[in-house]
Homo-oligomer: A and B are copies of this chain.
Amino acid sequence: MTTEQVPSRVEQVPTVEPEAPAVQRVEDAGVHATDRGYRQPAVDVAALRRLLDGRYHEVRDLVRANLAEHAQVLLDEEQLSTADFRERVKDVVLKMASTGQTGMGFPQEYGGGGDIGASVAAFETLAYGDLSVLVKVGVQFGLFGGAILQLGTKTHHDAYLADLVSGRTMGCFAMTESGHGSNVQALGTVATYDVEAQEFVITTPDDASRKDYIGNAAAHAELAVVFAQLEVAGERHGVHAFVVPVREGGHVRDGVRIEDCGPKMGLNGVDNGRIWFDGVRVPRTALLNQFAEVTPEGRYLSPIDNPNKRFFTMLGTLVQGRVCVGGAGINAAKVALTIATRYADRRRQFEASSSEEEQVLLDYGMHQRRLLPLLARTYALHFAQEVVAGQLHDVFSGPGPTEPGSDEHARRTLESRAAATKALGTWHATRTIQECREACGGAGYLSENRFAALKADTDVFTTFEGDNHVLLQLVAKGLLTDYAGEFEDMDQLGMARFVAGLAVETVVERTAVHKLVQSVRDLLPGGDTWDQEAGLLDPNYQLAMLRFREEHMIGGVARRLKRGVDQGLDAGAVFSRVQDHVIAAARAHAERLVLEAFVARTAALPDGDLKVALNLLCDLHALSTIESDRAWFMEHGRLSSARSKAISREINDLCRKVRPLAVDLVDAFAVPDEMLRSRELLTWGD
């Protein structure tokens, strides 16, 4: 049913005969499926922390220690001028770099740690602290360093990697332009090959093509990886990347103009800037030539013939940034939840019962409803992130995309999954931090209590490394390509526009055959009314619901697209009309992946209180996910009114069961105390 790496209790299920009663399908039925004999589990915080930290727990602890050591930067963010804070952030980044924390993804021969997974773990954990530091690290080591590593060849590695890993050379990643954000293929900057001089000439033709929002550009970068349209002998070959010096000895180089982007909502420790190039010359070797080469005499060569495929292969090697940002969003949400949950467990307001004492906030049903499903979803996303980070590690520890043995399919799967997880993780951060701020009332508004910076700094996570809506379109496009057969009578342009042309060349492997499923039964045989009778806490039921929704939505989008084209509508108009369905289908796909990851992870645990506790959270997440889209399930005959109401009641019940565990569950995130600040909130009532 799934291709997940983690074992899933669900995967063992299909061998059960259809006529077997549904309840027997659950293997750990005990506490999970019934209230009878329910015993409140106790959470071993240390064990849960170890579980969450996983394989890279030592790396995470190193980052925690580094964060605590530089905790002052959280105060500096409030107190220093922007110019001084930028220097301070650079300083902290360099100090962290010296511990090896930021270079874990680079080859050991250049001073790196040679472990991709470790570098993701380090980055994610860094999100517990000041996020300007995080983003500066992302720019220097992820974007700039990643481009040199992935798009360059040994010459470039030898020339730059050791110095950029140590932070001796600072660089920036000059892709986005003012007029070309999501649509990277339409970039306006041009790199023309001058065969006489054997140089590329980099030019910004107009203001819409100036590089914009470029981190490290306004103050610190000496080098830029510049993405530009390559032109050789009058012929365009699409977007390629070039190493371009933009500063020498701290001064902006001739022909380069840099402007500060000015104050931003947050992340003001990062020096974002705009860059114009006026005929800037770089040697022929400045082309990062992993996927294409220009010979001295001006011949263009590439191992990938198709320009589209070449472009998306190149972009695909930069997927780590998306994985990292998604993980950072999830971890930022953990910081907010830690503060809001601990506070809600102490703060009293209004007498609710006959006792004289006011009632603790977290004993209010509404407060539980506001915080606990978000806590459950944070766990769900944590485990989904663990899966995508694992896939990233595996893919990037293997052969490159043009090398023998490259697993093209695994790369496409990873790209789609990274896009989906990034979108859900960063939206979750925005939503969770907001709810936590409100749940802390006026105190939540004070900078001391962290929400100010969390909100302001994470806000752009939904936009950078790919706008979330555009990313979901990319995911949807991958899902839709499986329908290509149904579009046979569609003309080439229409087909290209709708299915191939939306975004990136990506294909998602799906073991189930794409067809319009008529009922949950098609996905998981169990009798005509199986889904109406299955236990709400049966993970098979929960997963079947999400799978049904996904399949149905993908089929629906495909039929709508085809119908629009058949009716002779303008391609743009058809896409515009179906766009909300496209996004919804991708979201449904993403939600299914997240739940699968959570179910599989808990199923793999040994029996015990920890498993019971995580199953409570998993149920809460699954049912909250269904509840939030219960209208769709009712509209499509998969949920009766009565059952829909029962789900809401069950969620309330689960909230009451999770409530006594809530503080332990956030403590297991192990956000360093120094990162929480919130001195008064967290000692309230002492």
State whether B442 touches A580 (Cβ < 8 A).
no
A2 proximal to B (CB < 8 A): no
Contact bitstring A561-581, B, C-beta under 8 A = 1, else 0: 000000000111101111110
Contact bitstring A436-447, B, C-beta under 8 A = 1, else 0: 011001111111
State whether B497 touches A213 (Cβ < 8 A).
no
State whether A463 touches B445 (Cβ < 8 A).
yes
The docked-state distance in angstroms from the alpha carbon of A433 to that of B437 is: 16
Nearest B residue (CB) for A452: B265
Contact bitstring A411-451, B, C-beta under 8 A = 1, else 0: 00000000000000000001000100110011111111001
A395 proximal to B (CB < 8 A): no
- The smallest beta-carbon distance between A146 and chain B, in angstroms, is 19
A354 proximal to B (CB < 8 A): yes
A366/B571 contact (C-beta < 8 A), A460-B442, A460-B445, A641-B636 known: no
- The smallest beta-carbon distance between A651 and chain B, in angstroms, is 10
Chain B residues, CB < 8 A from A571 = 352-354
Contact bitstring A355-389, B, C-beta under 8 A = 1, else 0: 10011000111101100000000000000000000
The docked-state distance in angstroms from the alpha carbon of A444 to that of B641 is: 41
Contact bitstring A338-356, B, C-beta under 8 A = 1, else 0: 0000000000011111110
The answer, among B213, B443, B576, for a CB contact under 8 Å with A352, is: B576
The answer, among B183, B462, B582, B637, for a CB contact under 8 Å with A358, is: B183
A577/B365 contact (C-beta < 8 A), A183-B350, A459-B437, A572-B353 known: yes
Nearest B residue (CB) for A468: B438
The answer, among B178, B264, B368, B580, for a CB contact under 8 Å with A452, is: B264
State whether A442 touches B455 (Cβ < 8 A).
no
Nearest B residue (CB) for A78: B263
State whether B469 touches A575 (Cβ < 8 A).
no
A493 proximal to B (CB < 8 A): yes
The docked-state distance in angstroms from the alpha carbon of A466 to that of B468 is: 34
Q: Is the interface of A mostly helix, strand, loop or mixed?
A: helix
The docked-state distance in angstroms from the alpha carbon of A358 to that of B634 is: 38
Nearest B residue (CB) for A464: B442
Residues from 140 to 190 in A contacting B, C-beta threshold 8 Å: 176, 178, 180-183, 186
- Number of copies of this chain that the complex holds: 2
- The smallest beta-carbon distance between A239 and chain B, in angstroms, is 15
- The smallest beta-carbon distance between A303 and chain B, in angstroms, is 28
Residues from 561 to 619 in A contacting B, C-beta threshold 8 Å: 570-573, 575-580, 582-583
A62 proximal to B (CB < 8 A): no
The docked-state distance in angstroms from the alpha carbon of A385 to that of B366 is: 27
State whether B78 touches A446 (Cβ < 8 A).
no
Contact bitstring A537-549, B, C-beta under 8 A = 1, else 0: 0000000000000
The answer, among B366, B455, B577, for a CB contact under 8 Å with A469, is: B366
A310 proximal to B (CB < 8 A): no
A61 proximal to B (CB < 8 A): no
State whether B631 touches A363 (Cβ < 8 A).
no
A68 proximal to B (CB < 8 A): no
A456 proximal to B (CB < 8 A): yes
- The smallest beta-carbon distance between A126 and chain B, in angstroms, is 20
The docked-state distance in angstroms from the alpha carbon of A121 to that of B446 is: 29
Nearest B residue (CB) for A649: B577
The answer, among B352, B469, B575, for a CB contact under 8 Å with A572, is: B352
A293 proximal to B (CB < 8 A): no
Chain B residues, CB < 8 A from A576 = 352, 359, 363-365, 368
A467 proximal to B (CB < 8 A): yes
25 A/B residue pairs, CB under 8 Å, sorted by A: A180-B349, A181-B441, A183-B349, A186-B350, A265-B451, A265-B452, A265-B455, A266-B452, A352-B575, A352-B576, A354-B493, A354-B570, A364-B575, A365-B575, A365-B578, A365-B580, A438-B468, A441-B467, A442-B463, A445-B459, A455-B459, A630-B631, A631-B634, A634-B635, A637-B641
